[in-house]
Structure formats: structure tokens, C-alpha cells
Amino acid sequence: MNQFDCVVVGGGMVGAASALSLAELGLKVAVIEKYAPEAFAAEQAFDLRVSAISLGTEQLLTQLGAWQALTQWRICPYKRLAVWERAESYTEFSADAIQQSHLGHIVENRLLQLALWQQLQQHTNVTLMCPENVKNLAQDATGVKLTLASKVIEASLVVAADGANSMVRKLAHIGTTGWDYAQSAMLINVATQQPQQDITWQQYLPTGPLAMLPMPGQHACLVWYHQKAEIKRLASLSDQQLTQAVQQHFPERLGAVAVLNKAAFSLTRRHANQYYKNRVVLVGDAAHSINPMAGQGVNLGFKDVKALQQVIAQAISDGESWHNEQVLARYQQKRRTDNLLMMTTMDALYLSFSHVSPLVKLARNAGLMLANKVPSIKNKALAYACGIKLS
């Protein structure tokens, strides 16, 4: 029987970062994951799943030693972010306005996970158990017993980082609230006529946003939100037919493109009723899954990682029992309200731009135009989204 200070269930981006951040505190950590990330090769096609990594997340990844590998593989920095519905409401946010060299980077999820795994594999405090999965979980006053497919292990604390449909969350009897949105989304990797851009943008339509995320070289990742039936229809098109549809519906500023790959997924909102129970604590999508409209989902997960590390580090420093519920309650206090605020903001944005009322349309366009005229508010919102504080 193996004994660990902490077991992280889920070795994706947020789970791997959680394991590293806790191992850095001197804790003995095990990571349970079904699938290891594939090794990187420059000739590999771009991953469909990408994330807009904020400055705050970049700082965390640098601290954990993972960012350096990503800069040697492939990432795409962006300096500007644009949103609009009508031409007159065009609003652009710039890194220069908050005295930064860039706002963030577009990074393939698989490469981000791989960079973190390379650090896990080198860390003396980390045991990787892969392929492996959890079959059962039992808690008592002394810790947690996890029954895996091949063995039984024990831990003082279990971190659930196993996604929106978290098995650990269910086994810990932590409920959720949420719903499925009426829309779905399609991710489309394209080759572009234009060279690599330094801007990411979203145009809002009543049917849902159209977004462009720049990728290295003459490539981009497009995000197409629409009603579920329409996304299903688009997903059935050939690459050539979808290319024609993109050219017809996306803004002219996109330029000529050719579809390389595509995938569709449903949009859901889930929020755990609590972020901990006894010796189990939730991070990332296991705690909250959010409408991806503003690309904040994974950054919220990394904020969870940082907060959990901080409260446990402080407890260790103060001589407390770092895994008790009083410590985990501090983590919940740090993160649940912030996550709920972001989720509610995204829902308000979603409802606002899907509303067909002329008055609502006038109000939202006026709001965007007002943001351009009040730089202080605009820049504070931008800094918050980037995960930094303005001096």
C-alpha cells in the first residue's frame, strides 16, 4: 500500500500544475491519469484545443518551470484584443495601455500539458501513475483511501482535477448546479493568407460570436458559436465546403483561409456547491466549467492552483495541519466568489448578445463605445482579465 501526502486525480493542464505546485512545497505527491501526452515534433499538426494563456498564468507556468519548453516549441503571442458587434462599436484593448509587452499567448492544450509533465517526471517528490484511474474513494478522520484499477493508495489530501464530469467529485458526494447552453461551438484550424497576426478578436452576432485566435506562422484557430443544429450541420461539411462557409460568414478582415481540421462541442455551465469536503478539494473544471466566450476557463483553473498552493504554504509555515477543513475553507473563500463572478459575467454577456431587442442591441453597442471613451475602466478590466494588477 502506498502512502502520499497528496494525490492529484487528473493529469491535464490544471492537474499537472497542481501536482507541481504542491510538490514544490515539499509534499509527496502522486498523479493519477489515464493518458500521457504525446511527445512533441515540429511537423505535428496544430492541436484543435487551444487556450489563451493570460500574463498571470504565464507567470505561474514560469515559476513551475514549464514555460521555457513552450517557448522552444510553438506559441503565439498577441498584443491586442478586439471586440465589436457593429463597426461603430469596435473596441480594441492593447498591451501598450497597461505597459506590457503582450496580453497573452495562444497555446495548444496538449503542449501545455506536455511541458508540465516534463517537470513532473523530473521532480523527486512526484510519482506519476499512468495509465491508471480511480474506482472508489473512502474518507475518514485520518485520510483518504483510493482504490485504483491496479492498487490501493492512501493520502492526507485528494485534489480532484479530473474535469467537468469529475468522478472524484461524485465519489465525494459534492453536488453541482448548472445547465447546458442552447448553443454549441466549433473549433476550426485554418491556414491563412495573412502572416501571423498579433491580435485576437470576436465579433458578436445574435446567433453567437465569431472569433479568431492567431497561431504561429500563417495559421489561426477559429471559433464559431451557433445553435446546436447549425453547428451539427457545419460539422458534417467537407473541409472545402466549410472553407466556403467561413468565407461567407466571418468578417472580411479574416482574409482568405483554408480549413485544415475541425471539431464541435457543446457548451455547459457547472459549478460545484462547495470546493471541498473532508479531505477532498476541487480545482479547475471539476469545480467550475464556464462558457468559453472570453477564453477565461483555463486561466481560472490556474488561479485555483495558485490559491491552493498559497493557503497550504501558509498553513505549513504557521505549523497548522495543512490538509484540514479550515485550511481548505480559505482556498474556497479565495476562489469561489471570483469564479462565480466570472461565470455570471460570461452569462450576462451571452444573454446580452443573443437578445434581439433593438433597445438591448443599442445599449450593448453604447457600452462598447463608452469603454473606448473611459480608458481607466477599460484598462482595469483588461488587467483583471490578464491576471495582473495595475500599479
Dihedral of CA atoms 247, 196, 117, 340 in degrees, nearest 10, equals: -60
Domain boundaries, the chain: 2-72+104-178+269-352, 182-264
Handedness of CA 314, 317, 320, 324 (dihedral sign): positive
**pLDDT of 359:** 46
Model confidence at 280: pLDDT above 90:
yes
Model confidence at 292: pLDDT above 80:
no
Model confidence at 367: pLDDT above 70:
no
**pLDDT of 324:** 93
Handedness of CA 141, 144, 147, 153 (dihedral sign): negative
In this prediction, what percent of the chain has a pLDDT beyond 90? 71
Give the cell for residue 48: 484543435
Burial of 230 (0-12, 13-18, 19+ CB in 10 A): middle
Nearest Cα neighbor of 290 from 322, 320, 268, 309 is 268
Task: List the Cα angle 70/76/81 in 5-degree steps.
Answer: 135
Check: CB of residue 109 under 8 Å from CB of residue 49: yes
**pLDDT of 383:** 63
Q: Which of 57-61, 174-178, 252-256, 342-346 has the lowest mean pLDDT?
A: 342-346
Q: pLDDT tens, 95-112? A: 888 888 899 999 999 999
Dihedral of CA atoms 88, 93, 97, 102 in degrees, nearest 10, equals: -150
In this prediction, what percent of the chain has a pLDDT beyond 70? 87
Determine the residue type at 103: L
Query: Given pLDDT bands bounded at 50, 70 and 90, which one contains residue 80?
Result: very high
Model confidence at 375: pLDDT above 80:
no
Average pLDDT over residues 212-231: 94
Model confidence at 85: pLDDT above 50:
yes
**pLDDT of 43:** 92
Q: Which CATH number does 2-72+104-178+269-352 carry?
A: 3.50.50.60
Determine the residue type at 68: Q
Model confidence at 361: pLDDT above 60:
no
Nearest Cα neighbor of 37 from 54, 15, 59, 57 is 15
Average pLDDT over residues 256-282: 94
Report pTM.
0.89
Model confidence at 249: pLDDT above 50:
yes
Q: Which of 34-38, 180-184, 220-224 has the lowest mean pLDDT?
A: 180-184
Query: Given pLDDT bands bounded at 50, 70 and 90, which one contains residue 247?
Result: very high
Mean pLDDT across the chain: 89
Query: Given pLDDT bands bounded at 50, 70 and 90, which one contains residue 381?
Result: low
Strand partners of residue 80: 94, 199
Model confidence at 274: pLDDT above 60:
yes
Q: pLDDT tens, 308-344? A: 999 999 999 999 999 999 999 999 999 999 898 888 7
Cβ count within 10 A of residue 251: 12
**pLDDT of 329:** 97
Check: CB of residue 58 under 8 Å from CB of residue 105: yes
End-to-end CA distance of the chain: 51
**pLDDT of 343:** 80
Q: Which CATH number does 182-264 carry?
A: 3.30.9.10
Nearest Cα neighbor of 66 from 129, 7, 18 is 18
Q: pLDDT tens, 125-175? A: 999 999 999 999 999 888 999 999 999 999 999 999 999 999 999 999 999
Top pLDDT among 353 and 139 is at 139
**pLDDT of 97:** 84
Model confidence at 354: pLDDT above 90:
no
Determine the residue type at 190: V
Average pLDDT over residues 196-201: 91
Q: How far apart are CA 213 and CA 208, in angstroms?
A: 16
Give the contacts of 257 (CB within 8 A, at least 6 positions apart). 190, 191, 192, 193, 220, 222, 243, 246, 247
